Structure 1
Amino acid sequence: MSIFNSFARIIGAATAVSVIAITAASADEITLRGASLFDEEHAYTKTLRQLEQLIGDKYDGDVVFDLRLNGELGDESDFVTFLQQGVAIDYAIMAPSNMATFAPSIPLMDMPFLFRDLEHWDTALASGVMAPLEAELLAKADIRVIGYAGGGVRNLASAEPIGNIDELTGHKMRVMGAPIQAQIFSAIQAAPSAIAYNEVYNAIQTGVIAGFENEAASIQNLKFYEVAPNITLTKHAITVRPIVVAEKTFKKLPEALQAAILEAGLEAGAFGRNLESTQDGEKMQEMIDAGQVQVQEFAGREKLLELVVPVQDAYAAELGASDLLEAIRSK
């Protein structure tokens, strides 16, 4: 797709959806517009539906939700642009790395090998330790974090089996666009490339890349197992997926609705973390039972941890966030 066509698609989607939005200033009924890359069965969509229900329960006024699914409004790079501009999308669940264009420090909250296990991950997200990153995102991108979903364990998915560092060396794989993602996977000897999420399937199919990294729910939902049926349990990340709202929209809302959104965001985040962390193993087992994937451990995983710590430290130091990184590690 050409740059011109991509731009036209984004502007067209923004215009089409914007015309149906009703703000508090123009009518008693308020319409809030959401977006999800996935269908109704995905944990992220279920979490957004929970958010909608909670807001409706907590707010006495009339509010309508218009949630567009299956990437109708583009991919997450489009979502973050719409959210920052306050058009087309008012709420979504986002990968931090996809917001790095506006807030360079934000990918620190989900960089690979940051969390020891699910307990460490959940404790950190519930502790408020991410507040400095939230403040940067709000100040630089006009995007407000209202809660944290996520909980999927990310592993390698590849066309051919990868079981050790020798087989990982030179492995052409897709990573998210934030520089820290490429730096981490380069450090463990892979050959990372940042390409659009909606291009991953075809890129593996045509041999442009040999694999990528993701959690079980997304591999299953988008049928990535058809081109990357080999799962290597690197367990390099536990997803952190902020529930976000467009600040330009948020500031226009009645105070009672703002309060309802903030309260609902925390509760929806807890719901989403429990849902996805519970479903993660179930989704993987479903694919195994269906013969869609073959799973293997990564031999010598402790070596990966040794290789990435200096990269994490240097990244945090560059951002002036060394204390924050240590605070996360210490939770």
Structure 2
Amino acid sequence: MERRALLGGIAAATGLLATPHVVRAQAPITLNGASQFNEEHVFTRSMKHFATKVQEYYGRPVNFVWHLNSSLGLEKQYFEYMSAGRAVDFGIVSPAHMSTFSRAAPFIDAPFLFRDIAHWNKVLDGDMLKPVSDEVERRARVALIGYAGGGTRNIFANRPATNMAELRGLRVRVQGAPIWSRTFQAIGMAPQVIAYNEVYNAIQNNVIEAGENEAAGVEQMRFYEVGPNLIMTQHAITVRPLCFSAQTLSRLPRELQEAVRRAGREAGVFGRNAESSEDAQKITALEQAGRLKKITFTQRAEMNAAVKPVMEAYAKEIDADRIFTAINALTS
């Protein structure tokens, strides 16, 4: 009896060693998320919502490791890490950082693209950006699993400006995608590409006079300290894709892949609703605290007219003219 029991135990142990995938499948999977911001920022909250939904839909343990406050660099680095399948598995990234892999990617977040929040929501809900997301996933190996954003971008400056003439020559920081420099030049400003984390010091040292951002960024980065005049140009509504490494995704169990895709869509909607609703509240709170002053901009229609031919030419140049036409034809 003892010999048979011993042989049976050896056989069982041998079977386990021969099928190590069974043991590994039972171990919790770890996913790394990165954010430039702290726990309170809407991007981080959107990512935490994503993690909660992944756990809910997968129904099994998943470990989430958080790298906040730019501890792993900036969004550009996060996207590179996700593309390489290392260090960062998911994060919210500006489309401007995807231009190496898709010329059309930055266009989905271009200035002067959306008429208002209702128009913006219809574009995102209608899956009109799918050609871009498919290209990014194919070439960069990064999946765009949801769309957050929703902040209306204005110009924060160390001097006020109420019209086109007063904006002329303004040295303003813009994102690296060419469409930002071209449209701001068409308005008469002097755009400069500077790293996001260098904007505060650049204004403080008079390298530039202004930047442009949504309320959450102005608050988080304390840009109001160096640019207390918020010029209400309302020139863009942000689109911030929630990205997930396609290499990581391919290694996950099928059920978890499905949970990630489903949770990504819902986290994007969560982020959009949160940021778009909180945007005006943040500006009002900063104004009431005496930290910034809202400056009414009186020539928004003229500003849009000045950039229209630039937008049309650029869309054609990067083969995004069909997307641009479809977005313009959509009624809000």
TM-score scaled by length of structure 1: 0.91
Show the counterpart of 1:3.
Answer: none
State the Cα distance separating 1:135 from its structure 2 match.
1.0
Describe how 1:39-50 pairs up with structure 2 within 5 A.
Answer: 39-50=38-49
Retained in 2: the 8 A contact 1:168–1:190? yes
Distance 2:184 2:262 in 1: 37
Residue deviations 1:214-258 (CA, integer Å, cap 9, x gap): 001110111111101100100000110101101111111110000
Task: Verify: 1:206 aligned to 2:205, yes or no.
Answer: yes
Describe how 1:133-172 pairs up with structure 2 within 5 A.
Answer: 133-172=132-171
Which protein shows a greater Rg?
2
Indicate the percent of aligned positions where both proteins have the same amino acid.
Answer: 43
State the Cα distance separating 1:25 from its structure 2 match.
6.5
Retained in 2: the 8 A contact 1:150–1:272? yes
SS at 1:257's partner residue?
helix
Retained in 1: the 8 A contact 2:167–2:189? yes
Describe how 1:1-331 pairs up with structure 2 within 5 A.
Answer: 28-331=27-330
SS at 1:128's partner residue?
coil
State the Cα distance separating 1:62 from its structure 2 match.
2.2
Retained in 1: the 8 A contact 2:146–2:264? yes
Distance 1:101 1:44 in 2: 23
Q: For residue 29 of structure 1, what is the amino acid of its counterpart? A: P
SS at 2:251's partner residue?
coil
Q: For residue 277 of structure 2, what is the amino acid of its counterpart? A: T
State the Cα distance separating 1:299 from its structure 2 match.
1.8
Retained in 2: the 8 A contact 1:155–1:215? yes
Distance 1:208 1:101 in 2: 28
State the Cα distance separating 1:103 from its structure 2 match.
1.8
State the Cα distance separating 1:142 from its structure 2 match.
1.0
State the Cα distance separating 1:27 from its structure 2 match.
6.8
Retained in 2: the 8 A contact 1:98–1:176? no
Q: For residue 248 of structure 2, what is the amino acid of its counterpart? A: T
State the Cα distance separating 1:197 from its structure 2 match.
0.4
Show the counterpart of 1:18.
Answer: none
Distance 1:154 1:186 in 2: 17
Count the aligned residue pairs: 308
SS at 2:154's partner residue?
strand
Residue deviations 1:252-298 (CA, integer Å, cap 9, x gap): 11100000000001111111110000100110011001000011111
Retained in 2: the 8 A contact 1:25–1:252? no
**201-210 vs 94-103, greater mean Cα deviation:** 94-103
Q: Which runs of 5+ in 1 are unaligned?
A: 1-23
Q: For residue 317 of structure 2, what is the amino acid of its counterpart? A: E
State the Cα distance separating 1:57 from its structure 2 match.
0.4
The CA RMSD measured in Å over matched residues stands at 1.3
Distance 2:26 2:200 in 1: 43
Distance 1:168 1:98 in 2: 27
State the Cα distance separating 1:61 from its structure 2 match.
2.5
SS at 1:56's partner residue?
helix
TM-score scaled by length of structure 2: 0.91
Q: For residue 276 of structure 1, what is the amino acid of its counterpart? A: E
State the Cα distance separating 1:134 from its structure 2 match.
0.4
Distance 1:135 1:63 in 2: 27
Distance 2:61 2:222 in 1: 38
State the Cα distance separating 1:199 from its structure 2 match.
0.5
Residue deviations 1:28-67 (CA, integer Å, cap 9, x gap): 2111001111111111111000000000000123211111
Distance 1:81 1:187 in 2: 32
Distance 1:35 1:291 in 2: 32
Show the counterpart of 1:21.
Answer: none
Distance 1:241 1:77 in 2: 13
Retained in 2: the 8 A contact 1:100–1:178? yes
Q: Which runs of 5+ in 2 are unaligned?
A: 1-22
Distance 1:170 1:34 in 2: 40
SS at 1:288's partner residue?
helix
Distance 1:105 1:140 in 2: 13
